[in-house]
Structure 1
Amino acid sequence: MMASLSENTLKQYNTTFRLWWRFCFQTGISVYEATTEELIRFLHNIFETANLKYGSFNSHRSALSLILEPSVTDNPILNRFMKGLSKLRPAAPRYNATWDPNSLLQYAERLPNPLTLQELSRKLVTLLCLITGHRLQTIAKIKLSNFIYGEDAIQILIADPIKTSGRNQLQPTLHIPFFKEKRFLCCASALTEYIDRTSYLRHGQDTLFLSYRRPHLVASKQTLSRWVKEFLQAAGIDTSVFKAHSTRHSSTSAALRNGIAVDVICKTAGWSQRTATFAKFYNRPLVPPNEFARAVCNVSHSRHADLP
């Protein structure tokens, strides 16, 4: 049963359990045998003391459903209370607008050549996020043993579980095309350069990204997030507003503006099948997966063999 929960979910639920334990201790409630009314008191207490959105309350409910009776957490009274929370504290998107990737791409083109390993690391992880539309969690799980080198592109299979992994769910494949027209924006070329320059640091390590500082351990998702944020800031993007995850918003919006069908964007970026089904309602045609990355960088088809 514990294995059914991801590591990140467990960390998130631990916050709930600490709050619940403290509330039960202070009010004399049984931790494992509370009633629906007592659960509502707990959620209402959080509502009055913290300015949280509906998603946080729903997460608390999900966590406590693991330790309380189903009749407590799936109760008509609680359902009505949760509906009230959704009205009073509605979930809202993190961003009301997104940034244009052109400013970042222009900055990347102006960088001196050759780059230091630090600069190359930041540039590569940011470009990977941008041209794939995937989460940093996915980028952090890239392994060299899952590369498939083609004439026009590199395909990367993501074998490890990610946020959207589940039964009957296909694991994502990242498509990294070679760009001839914009050599300094060619993520595939930066990828091969990074692999060559870190080969002597690996000592058998299969994970793609390593820390550029000694002892060159595997770079965590948090480290990659910091690299992306630093690259965005250097490109003039307001990182007090836009975090590393905003690359996902920016790239998918740019792809849509450049004519990529919604269902292709959803499939490429790894969004749910329900979203893809909604996109198919508009009867958009499918295009080759490499076209997503090309549309973001606004370049035409090329072959890496022609790169200087």
Structure 2
Amino acid sequence: MLHFLPFQCYSSCVKEDQRGKSRGYTGGATMANTSVVLNNAVADDQAATSFRQTERPLDSPIQTRTSASTFEKTEPHSLSPVRQRLQKIQVSERAQHIIMNSWRIGTKKQYNVYLTKWINYSRKNSIDVDNHNIADVLDFLAELFNDGGGYSALNTARSALSTFMFFEGKPVGTHPLVIRFMKGVFESRPSLPRYCVIWDVASVLRFLETWHPLEHLNMKQLTWKLVTLIALSTAQRCQTIHQLDIECMTIREDEVIFSLGKLIKQSVPGKRQPEIVIPRITDNVKLCAMSALLHYLDKTKGYRKSSNLFLSLVKPYQPVTKSTISRWIKDVLSLSGIDTTQFSAHSTRAAAASKAKIKCVPLETIMKTAGWSNCGTFGKFYSKDIVDSHVISFAKTIMK
């Protein structure tokens, strides 16, 4: 049974779930007959820290010409050519706002890179952005290719142009010549998975076992251990871990459940938001993410002013960014002997999922835990062979 101490910032947010357990963190959650001594100093670590167009799909009574410079005067990541297109067909401001929200911030940032390149290309080649043809688009993509762009980069550029550029009533990216061009790019410069093999989770777990007991860890060690254990035990992206909120948390005897209040990458209309479940591990308490989580909440309750789970390690203890979460995990991988020049923090998803597959965890369970709806995604991008250190040692011995 869990006992809760008052926490003035969030005491009003406590809810009861259908099983009668406390929902929403209220402060010092401790196990019965267990006391947590908060005697560790916070580590001194600065971790926080378009176009000549042959035919338009929508007729517009306004036939004004738009120069490339017009697109440059809007705010960053605004997909300015798209907004200009909507304005020219007299879409209302409020409708524009909703349409622009259909692209997420990360997608807008990616697209804006190539829209800017298109604007510069149009100016350099004296192309009227309202009177383009398919040859201009193909030559633009060819220029990106000659500058070193691969299939993935050019595919992003194609998608960016398709947000506002149409031929014969269809997005430019679906034009037969563009499709054929992209096939040529793939044959010339194929897009292959980043990893052919993946590191063994056991290497990181052995290292994390050395950071025990929890009461002896400083805040940097405790935070780094917790965030890595969550990444491995849930196979979630750093974006999702970054969004964990204690106001959307349910603590039970054998698990902690986080409901996600914000959209994540795999969020789609009509599909329920996933829940992040952190179970209690009884076989090896040194690797129990739930225990580390409860201890972390106890240690941060004295200065916590935000409901975001992860806080910076130095004053004023603000919520950290997704990049900080990623860096913390990458630092742990490095300390565990993983080559972080090859493997990023995102590799924890492939490592955890591949290990679960080897341990004969059902594919349905792996997909549900990691948030994949298509088994092909797992098979193509995340199911990897694990590096066998014994085979490597054998080869090195033979070659001596």
TM-score (norm 2): 0.66
**Which residue of 206, 210, 220 corresponds with 2:311?**
210
Instruction: Check 1:79–1:276 CA distance in 2 against 1; reply closer, same or farther (3 A cut).
Output: closer
Match of 1:82 in 2: 182
Please identify, of 167-176 and 266-275, the stretch whose mean Cα deviation from structure 2 is larger: 266-275
**Aligned residue in 2 for 1:11:** 109
- Aligned position for 1:178: 280
Establish whether residue 42 from structure 1 lines up as the match of residue 122 from structure 2. Answer: no
2:210 aligned to 83, 87, 110, which one?
Answer: 110
Indicate the residue corresponding to 2:240 in structure 1.
138
Displacement of 1:149 in angstroms is: 1.5
CA distance in 1, matches of 2:232, 2:207: 14
Deviation at 1:43, TM superposition (A): 0.4
**How many matched pairs?**
276
Deviations 1:228-275 (A, max 9, x none): 011111111111111100100100000001010112111110112464
SS in 2 for 1:193: helix
1 CA distance for matches of 2:161 and 2:222? 44
Indicate conservation of the 8 Å contact 1:157/1:172, yes or no: yes
Amino acid at match of 2:102: S
Structure 2: stretches of 5+ with no match in the other structure: 1-98, 380-400
Question: 1:21 Cα deviation (Å)?
Answer: 1.2
Distance 1:200 1:8 in 2: 34
Q: C-alpha separation between the residues in 2 aligned to 1:29 and 1:104? A: 54
Distance (whole Å) between structure 1 residues aligned to residue 272 and residue 167 of structure 2: 31
Say what the alpha-carbon RMSD is for the aligned residues: 1.7
Alignment of 1:87-236 (within 5 A): 87-113=187-213, 114-203=216-305, 205-236=306-337
Contact 2:312 / 2:320 at 8 angstroms: preserved in 1?
yes
Q: Distance in 2 between matches of 1:32 and 1:227?
A: 47
Residue of structure 2 equivalent to 1:291 = none
Secondary structure of the 2:272 match is coil
Larger radius of gyration: 2
Secondary structure of the corresponding residue to residue 200 of structure 1: coil
Please tell me whether residue 267 in structure 1 is matched to residue 365 in structure 2: no
Structure 1 stretches of 5 or more lacking a match? 279-308
| Alpha-carbon distance in structure 1 between the residues aligned to 2:111 and 2:119 | 12
Structure 1: which amino acid aligns with 2:159?
S
- Conserved? CA contact 1:53–1:89, under 8 Å: yes
**1:218 partner amino acid:** P
State the alpha-carbon separation in 2 of the partners of residues 164 and 153 from structure 1: 24
C-alpha distance in 2, partners of 1:229/1:267?
A: 25
1:31 aligns with 2:129: yes
- State the AA in 2 paired with 1:87: E
Residue in 2 that maps onto 1:289: none
Output the amino acid matched with 1:153.
E
The CA deviation at 1:86 is 2.0
> TM-score by structure 1 length?
0.86
Contact 1:104-1:232 at 8 Å conserved across structures: yes
Mapped partners of 1:117, 1:31: distance in 2:
55
Deviation of 1:94 after TM superposition, in Å, equals 0.8
- In structure 2, the residue matched to 1:294 is none
Which residue of the partner structure matches residue 384 of structure 2? none
Letter in 1 for 2:173: T
Distance 1:48 1:259 in 2: 45
Partner Cα distance (1:189, 1:210) in 2? 18
Aligned partner of 1:57 in structure 2 is: 154
Deviations 1:173-202 (A, max 9, x none): 111111122111000010111111111222
Q: 1:70 to 1:168 in 2, by over 3 A?
A: farther
**Structure 1 Cα separation of the partners of residues 318 and 146 of structure 2:** 44
Aligned partner of residue 9 in structure 1, secondary structure: helix
d(CA) in 2 for partners of 1:147 and 1:89? 46
Percent of pairs with identical residues: 36
Q: SS state of the match for residue 201, structure 1? A: coil
**By percentage of residues, which structure has more helix?**
1
SS in 2 for 1:4: coil
* Gap change, CA 1:56 and 1:32, over 3 Å in 2: farther
Deviates further, 64-73 or 262-271: 64-73
